[in-house]
């Protein structure tokens, strides 16, 4: 049998090799990502056993967004904080589940990055064994070294992200990340406890035939958004266009992951109840937009590029249209019509 030349590449080796090729690399950043993958492995263990232990169901508490906090949300939130507070790479963290910045305890070294995360995305799907995920975003601090991170370090536009990505806990668990030099996907092999490179240099199709949106909100949308959806699901022989398929899981990580691999568009628009949409700019829209843009896709809020929005609040929301470049342009054409 001929020798197979494909390398087996763990995420740790991949991160180190990527960093070796970049200017001013200190190894600090690799170590940060390595610590994060440990947190993902622990969350994965808990998620995959959730049906077996008493980990399901709500804690009874509400988070800062006023939503019911699921036990797994709280668990994932704590795991990430505890995995990341003592590594010496961060000067602060911010989580979708906490109102304020999470400081690094005084007895640990403070580093030059901040971490923002959505510990468990798709919480309405936890109890029904449907894919959920974790989203992360890393920024370089802008305040002086060795001091506690402040809001200024977190409220930076998305194009400043140093790295971003997500883990999807699904039929298999995958980690997809970008450090600004393409997008890479790793599949978790539980038998060896490693994320192994399975999707090298992911490129999103230029156009797809799937749209993904909570269409139950149709009557709350602006007429331009309604017009786009009417168009998307129509056969238009003169344009040689067939009706697009609708797929909506209700976990952004899973819906965007499918969009990344199959093409199409994922939308969470503003509506008459939520004027700024539902998704959070810093924990959801920015990291997913960075990944999709790095794969050749496009991400907007209906007015401009998501990654150029200057954040004003830690928990700010934004409308989001993300996916294949041609599909996002189709939506924008409708939104900019008279
Ligand atoms: P989270 O579970 O982190 O609160 O996020 C849920 C988000 C996102 O994952 C998903 O795209 C969206 O909420 C679904 O919202 P609807 O139920 O309104 O469709
Ligand atoms: Mn979320
Ligand atoms: Mn969440």
CATH of the domain at 193: 3.30.540.10
**Atom of ligand 1 lying closest to residue 216 CA:** 19
Contact indicator for 50, 68 with CB cutoff of 8 Å: no
- Could you tell me which residues come within 8 angstroms of residue 73 by beta carbon, excluding any fewer than 6 positions away? 63, 97, 119, 120, 123, 126
**C-alpha pair distances (Å), 60 with each of 123, 180, 225, 275:** 14, 39, 36, 28
Whether residue 174 lies inside any domain: the answer is yes
- Could you tell me which residues come within 8 angstroms of residue 95 by beta carbon, excluding any fewer than 6 positions away? 77, 80, 81, 102, 116, 117, 118, 119, 283
Question: Long-range contacts of range 173-176, CB-CB < 8 Å, 24 or more positions apart?
Answer: 173/40, 173/44, 173/48, 174/198, 174/199, 174/257, 175/11, 175/37, 175/40, 176/202, 176/257, 176/260, 176/291
Place of tokens 């168009």: 231
**Atom of ligand 1 lying closest to residue 283 CA:** 3
**Atom of ligand 1 lying closest to residue 251 CA:** 9
Whether residue 132 lies inside any domain: the answer is yes
**Closest CA to ligand 1's atom 12:** 250
Q: How far apart are CA 39 and CA 291, in angstroms?
A: 20
Same domain, 126 and 233: no
**C-alpha pair distances (Å), 207 with each of 203, 252, 292, 297, 330:** 11, 20, 13, 9, 10
Q: Using the 3D structure, point to which of 178, 199, 220 is the last residue of a domain.
A: 199
Q: What's the number of domains the chain is made of?
A: 2
pLDDT of res. 63: 75
Ligand sitting nearest the alpha carbon of 68: 1
Residue 2 has pLDDT above 60, yes or no: no
Q: How far apart are CA 309 and CA 299, in angstroms?
A: 11
Same domain, 142 and 246: no
Whether residue 49 lies inside any domain: the answer is yes
Same domain, 65 and 184: yes
CATH of the domain at 295: 3.40.190.80
Q: Measure 68 CA to ligand 1 centroid, in angstroms.
A: 12
Pocket of ligand 1, candidates 69, 127, 248, 251: which has the most ligand atoms within 8 Å of its Cβ, to mutate? 251
Q: Is 137 in the pocket of ligand 1 (CB under 6 A)?
A: no
Same domain, 178 and 86: yes
Q: Measure 238 CA to ligand 3 centroid, in angstroms.
A: 43
Angle of helix 71-84 relative to helix 28-48, nearest 10 degrees?
150
pLDDT of res. 19: 77
Average pLDDT estimate for 29-36: 90
Q: Measure 208 CA to ligand 1 centroid, in angstroms.
A: 22
Q: What angle do CA 137, 158, 17 make, to 5 degrees?
A: 50
Q: Using the 3D structure, point to which of 169, 199, 229 is the last residue of a domain.
A: 199
Above pLDDT 70, what percent of the chain? 93
Same domain, 100 and 166: yes
Which of helix, strand or coil describes residue 211? Answer: strand
Residue 36 has pLDDT above 60, yes or no: yes
pLDDT of res. 30: 85
Q: Is 269 in the pocket of ligand 1 (CB under 6 A)?
A: no
pLDDT band at 29 (very low <50, low <70, confident <90, very high): confident
Q: How far apart are CA 84 and CA 33, in angstroms?
A: 10
59/335: higher pLDDT: 335
Same domain, 180 and 125: yes
Residue 3 has pLDDT above 60, yes or no: no
Q: Measure 251 CA to ligand 3 centroid, in angstroms.
A: 9
Same domain, 74 and 166: yes
Q: Is 72 in the pocket of ligand 1 (CB under 6 A)?
A: no
Same domain, 166 and 314: no
Q: Measure 241 CA to ligand 2 centroid, in angstroms.
A: 33
Place of tokens 């622990």: 42
Q: Count Cβ atoms within 10 A of the Cβ of residue 20 and give its class: 0-12 exposed, 13-18 middle, 19 or more buried.
A: exposed
Q: Is 63 in the pocket of ligand 1 (CB under 6 A)?
A: no
Same domain, 17 and 76: yes
pLDDT band at 53 (very low <50, low <70, confident <90, very high): low
Q: How far apart are CA 328 and CA 338, in angstroms?
A: 18
Same domain, 242 and 323: yes
71/160: higher pLDDT: 160
pTM of the predicted model over 0.75: yes
Same domain, 144 and 43: yes
CB atoms within 10 A of CB 332: 17
For the stretch 173-194, pLDDT in tens is: 999 999 999 999 999 999 999 9
Whether residue 168 lies inside any domain: the answer is yes
Q: Measure 249 CA to ligand 1 centroid, in angstroms.
A: 9
Q: Measure 70 CA to ligand 3 centroid, in angstroms.
A: 9
Average pLDDT estimate for 140-162: 97
Which of 56, 93, 59 has the alpha carbon at shortest distance from 74?
A: 59
Residue 321 phi/psi, 5-degree rounding, is -130, 110
Whether residue 1 lies inside any domain: the answer is no
For the chain, give the mean pLDDT: 93
Whether residue 204 lies inside any domain: the answer is no
Contact indicator for 331, 321 with CB cutoff of 8 Å: yes
Residue range(s) defining the domain that contains residue 323: 210-335
**Atom of ligand 1 lying closest to residue 125 CA:** 2
| Lowest-pLDDT choice from 16-25, 136-145, 296-305 | 16-25
Above pLDDT 90, what percent of the chain? 83
For the stretch 87-105, pLDDT in tens is: 999 999 999 999 999 999 9
Question: Between the CA atoms of 178, 180, 181 and 185, what dihedral angle is there, to the nearest 10 degrees?
Answer: 10
Which of 145, 76, 86 has the alpha carbon at shortest distance from 113?
A: 145
Average pLDDT estimate for 148-160: 98
Same domain, 273 and 325: yes
**Atom of ligand 1 lying closest to residue 214 CA:** 19
Whether residue 184 lies inside any domain: the answer is yes
Whether residue 3 lies inside any domain: the answer is no
pLDDT of res. 317: 98
Pocket of ligand 1, candidates 74, 257, 279, 281: which has the most ligand atoms within 8 Å of its Cβ, to mutate? 279
**C-alpha pair distances (Å), 119 with each of 12, 41, 67, 216, 325:** 21, 13, 14, 26, 28
- Beta-strand ranges (E) seen in 213-272 are 245-246, 265-268
């Amino acid at each position: 049998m001929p020798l197979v030349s494909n390398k087996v590449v763990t995420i740790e080796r991949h991160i180190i090799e990527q960093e070796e090729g970049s200017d001013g690399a200190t190894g600090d950043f690799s170590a940060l990502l390595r610590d994060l993958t440990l947190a993902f492995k622990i969350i994965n263990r808990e998620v995959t056993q959730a049906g077996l232990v008493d980990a399901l169901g709500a804690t009874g508490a509400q988070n800062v967004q006023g939503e019911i906090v699921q036990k797994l949300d709280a668990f994932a939130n704590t795991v990430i904080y505890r995995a990341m507070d003592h590594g010496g790479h961060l000067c602060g963290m911010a989580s979708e589940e906490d109102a304020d910045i999470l400081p690094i305890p005084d007895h640990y070294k403070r580093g030059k990055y901040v971490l923002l995360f959505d510990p468990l995305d798709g919480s309405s799907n936890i109890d029904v064994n449907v894919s959920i995920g974790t989203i992360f975003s890393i920024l370089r601090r802008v305040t002086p070294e060795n001091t506690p991170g402040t809001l200024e370090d977190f409220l930076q536009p998305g194009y400043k992200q140093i790295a971003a990505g997500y883990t999807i806990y699904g039929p298999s668990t995958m980690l997809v990340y970008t450090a600004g030099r393409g997008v890479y996907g790793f599949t978790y092999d539980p038998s060896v406890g490693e994320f192994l490179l399975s999707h090298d240099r992911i490129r999103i199709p230029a156009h797809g035939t799937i749209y993904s949106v909570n269409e139950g909100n149709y009557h709350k949308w602006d007429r331009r958004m309604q017009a786009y959806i009417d168009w998307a699901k129509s056969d238009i022989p003169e344009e040689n266009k067939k009706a697009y398929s609708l797929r909506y899981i209700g976990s952004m990580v899973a819906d965007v992951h499918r969009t990344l691999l199959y093409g199409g568009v994922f939308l969470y628009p503003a509506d008459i109840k939520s004027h700024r949409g539902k998704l959070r700019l810093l924990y959801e829209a920015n990291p997913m937009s960075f990944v999709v843009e790095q794969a050749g896709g496009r991400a907007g809020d209906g007015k401009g590029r998501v990654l150029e929005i200057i954040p004003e609040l830690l928990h700010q929301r934004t409308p989001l249209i993300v996916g294949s470049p041609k599909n996002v342009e189709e939506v924008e054409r409708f939104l900019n019509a008279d």
